[in-house]
Each structure stands twice: as C-alpha cells, then as structure tokens.
C-alpha cells in the first residue's frame, strides 16, 4: 500500500463521482450512433472510467488505512497518537480522522489520557436487558431510566 499524505481525510469526492458519471454518459451517448467523430466518445469514456477507478482506489485505500491503525492499537492498546504516527508514517491529520471513524463505528473503544496522550482501553461489556431499554432525553441526549422519571436528571427537561 502506497500512502500519500492526507489521502484519508481528503478521501472520496461525490463531485468526482458525478463528473465521472457525466464523462461516461457523454462517452457512451456519442459512441452509439457511430460516425466519424465518435472517437471523441472514446476519449470521454476513458476519462470517466479513469476518474471512477481513482475513486474506487480511494475507498479501498481508506479501508486499508483503517485496518493499519486498528492493528496498531490491537498490538499496543496503550499507544499514543505520536507512537502510531512514528510507526506507520501516516500524517497526524489522517491518524486522528481514522481514530474518530473507528470510534464512531465502535471498532475502537477507549479514551486518551489528557496528561500522557496514551490510549486507555475500555473493556466492552455485553448489553443487559436494562441497558437495551434505556431511553435518551429529547433535549440533551443523556441516557434516562424511564422507570418513574418525569424529568431529566442532567438538564431538567420534561420527559413526558
């Protein structure tokens, strides 16, 4: 895998996909009634396909980069971002974006120490039936146990 700086955070572009689709459309529509100027359609088709391939490569590269960072945390659960940057040679911007994505997906659990910068892994517990029934305050999003609660303990919003 060849890494280019900030390739994760800049990633896939919807605009590029739209442009690729337009080039492919123009290419196909100019090839259908074959005549002398149809070779312009081949050029448009090649441009569209090359843009599409570059976007597909960007998506697969993002998956590979996520796997590299996840592997680093599996090997050293207490690693800091600095250590990961040093070992993988991935830019800080990309490492931070990947960590946020992994956390959002639930694939990386833990917090970073505010003093040392090292990851403090959190052990994931299986959900109990009581946790599954937990509702959230419509005002602030804090978990609320609905059994007899009329107001949110965090913000005081009415729960009924």
The full 3-state SS of 44-81, as one line of letters, equals: HHHHHHHHHHHHHHHHHHHHHHHHHHHHHHHHCCCCEH
Residue 45 confidence (pLDDT)? 92
| pLDDT for the residue numbered 141 | 72
Q: Are residues 114 and 135 in the same domain?
A: no
- Average pLDDT of every residue of the chain: 77
Per residue in 10-53, pLDDT (tens digit) is 667 888 899 999 999 988 888 877 666 677 888 999 999 999 99
What pLDDT score does 97 carry?
83
| 110 in the same domain as 89 | yes
C-beta of residue 6 within 8 angstroms of C-beta of residue 91: yes
| Domain of 112, in residue numbers | 7-121
CA angle 85, 76, 8 (to 5 degrees): 35
Phi then psi for residue 109, to 5 deg, are -120, 135
Q: How many domains does the chain fold into?
A: 2
| pLDDT given for residue 154 in this prediction | 65
- The answer to whether residue 110 sits within a structural domain is yes
pLDDT in tens, 108-140: 877 777 667 777 766 544 545 554 556 777 766
Query: Are 16 and 92 in the same domain?
Result: yes
Q: What is the pTM (predicted TM-score) of this model?
A: 0.57
Q: Are residues 59 and 116 in the same domain?
A: yes
Is the pLDDT score of 157 beyond 90?
no
- 53-82 mean pLDDT: 85
What pLDDT score was predicted for residue 125?
A: 47
Are 35 and 90 within one domain? yes
More confident residue, 84 or 117: 84
Which tokens belong to 50? 């090359």
């Amino acid at each position: 895998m060849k890494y280019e700086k900030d390739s994760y955070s800049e990633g896939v572009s919807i605009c590029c996909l739209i442009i690729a689709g337009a080039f492919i459309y123009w290419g196909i529509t100019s090839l259908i009634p074959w005549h002398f100027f149809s070779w312009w359609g081949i050029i448009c088709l090649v441009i569209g396909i090359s843009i599409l391939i570059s976007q597909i490569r960007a998506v697969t590269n993002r998956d590979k980069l996520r796997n590299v960072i996840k592997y680093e945390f599996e090997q050293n659960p207490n690693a800091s971002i600095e250590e990961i940057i040093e070992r993988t040679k991935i830019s800080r911007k990309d490492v931070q974006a990947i960590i946020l994505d992994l956390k959002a997906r639930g694939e990386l659990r833990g917090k970073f120490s505010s003093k040392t910068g090292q990851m403090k892994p959190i052990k994931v517990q299986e959900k109990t039936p009581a946790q599954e029934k937990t509702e959230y305050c419509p005002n602030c999003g804090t978990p609320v146990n609905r059994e007899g609660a009329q107001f949110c303990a965090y913000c005081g919003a009415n729960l009924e």
